[in-house]
Amino acid sequence: MKSRIYALFILAALFSSNILLGQSDKQKKLEAQRQQILREMKQFRALLFDKEKEEKSEITLIEDLNYKVNKRKNLIRITNEQANLLTREINANQKEITSLREQLKELKEDYAAMVVKSYKSKSEQSKVMFLLSSSNFKQAYKRLQYIRQYANYQKEQGEAIKAKTQELQELNLQLSKQKKDKQKLIEENRIAKRELEKELKERETLMASIKADMSKFAAQIKKKKQEADRLDREINRLIREAIAASNKKAGKKTSTGKFVLTPESKKLASNFEANKGKLGWPVSRGVIKGKFGKRRSLTDASVTNNYKSIQIATETNAEVKAVFNGEVSEILIVKNGNPAVLIRHGNYLTIYMNLSKVYVKKGDKVSTSQVIGQVFTNKIRGETLLGFRINKNNQVLNPESWLAKH
């Protein structure tokens, strides 16, 4: 019976330690996310500081504010998750400590009873007499085994008491640290919430100013959307033409919208694909200000845009770098617009838009991190934005999931 209780005790301890380990892993992931947001916010502030002397348009200001508000909300959300998780861990540890104390009490009582019993058995009958009184050799052997097992069990009980006492001490230390960590997170969240309130008020004031002269801004937004749509159409056309030309050169006629790959280009594509989530950034310093996919207009909620690329805010005169080995497929020159560079990596393409200077030409072989141009700075809007897009054949992909965290 006692051995069964002891076994159950061990299983319960292992189960609870696994739960705490899982929670600790989740806490690490949350902390990594929180640090990532803090780095992005710091970098964004640094980029804004570089441009503080430049006159910014209201649209750019509202976009900057919206970026900060969204990041701040995410920071508060993750910090809340961390604090809540710590609360659960603290409660679990407190329950574990209470349970351990009860189990230790039971183990010590069990151990004390065993010692008393062992002492009495020694006084009543020695181990030798116990063995000699056996009716046959088999019984004597079994009695010897029993004596050894009893001694081992007694030793295990002593070691269990020692181990659980140490575990209890460690849990108490862990609990103390968790309480301090939680208090620190709560204080950081208070500061973040105060900053968020200021940014929301600032955004509200700016939005009121924009709505007061909506006709003026609606024209700006419409023009910007038309330019983006025109650029997307041109890029799509160039990709279709590149696929057709490449397949024709390879002696293949296909209308599937996919590159027919040679062994060399197939290997390049495979290497590119293997680096998903690990590609270097196309600029040394930058944050993703404009996300990929469908997004509502900040100034007109009835307008939804479907973005095929991400917009990376960077510093003035930022150099643009190829994110992977490849070949320059095309240099796109748009009337009244800024150049774009298309680089092919097997059946993948990376597209770098809104450049002021281009240092490569069609057909050039480029290597990872090679500088291919410079980002254009819009003096009217007061921003330096690189458009970055990734395609697999004619399929548009989300570039953010391909870039490494930085």
Domain limits of the chain?
2-212, 227-401
**What is the structure's pLDDT at 268?**
97
Instruction: Give the tokens for residue 333.
Output: 């020159």
List CB contacts of 286: < 8 A, sequence separation 6 or more. 43, 47, 312, 313, 314, 315, 318, 386
CATH 1.10.287 fits domain 2-212 = yes
Taken in order 232, 233, 234, 238, the sign of the CA dihedral is positive
Using 50 as the pLDDT threshold, list the residues of the chain that sit under it. Answer: 1-2, 4-6, 8-9, 11, 14-15, 19, 52-53, 123-124, 131
**What is the structure's pLDDT at 122?**
52
β strands within 227-382, DSSP E: 286-290, 293-296, 304-307, 310-314, 319-321, 326-332, 340-345, 348-353, 355-358, 365-366, 371-375, 377-378
Hey, what CATH topology would domain 227-401 get? Glucose Permease (Domain IIA) (2.70.70)
**What is the structure's pLDDT at 376?**
95
**What is the structure's pLDDT at 123?**
45
| Look-up of token digits 């105060």 | 194
**What is the structure's pLDDT at 352?**
98
The 10s digit of each residue's pLDDT in 109-163 is: 765 665 566 555 554 455 555 545 656 766 665 655 665 666 666 666 667 666 7
Helix spans in 213-297 (H)? 214-249, 263-274
pTM of the predicted protein model: 0.67
**What is the structure's pLDDT at 173?**
78
Instruction: Put residue 340 in one of left, alpha, beta given phi > 0 → left and psi -120 to 50 → alpha.
Output: beta
List CB contacts of 161: < 8 A, sequence separation 6 or more. 104, 107, 108, 111
Distance between alpha carbon 126 and the CA centroid of its chain, in Å? 67
For residues 235-254, one letter each, b for 16 or more C-beta atoms within 10 angstroms of the residue's C-beta and e for the rest, the string is beebbeebbeebbeeeeeee
| Look-up of token digits 């005790």 | 9
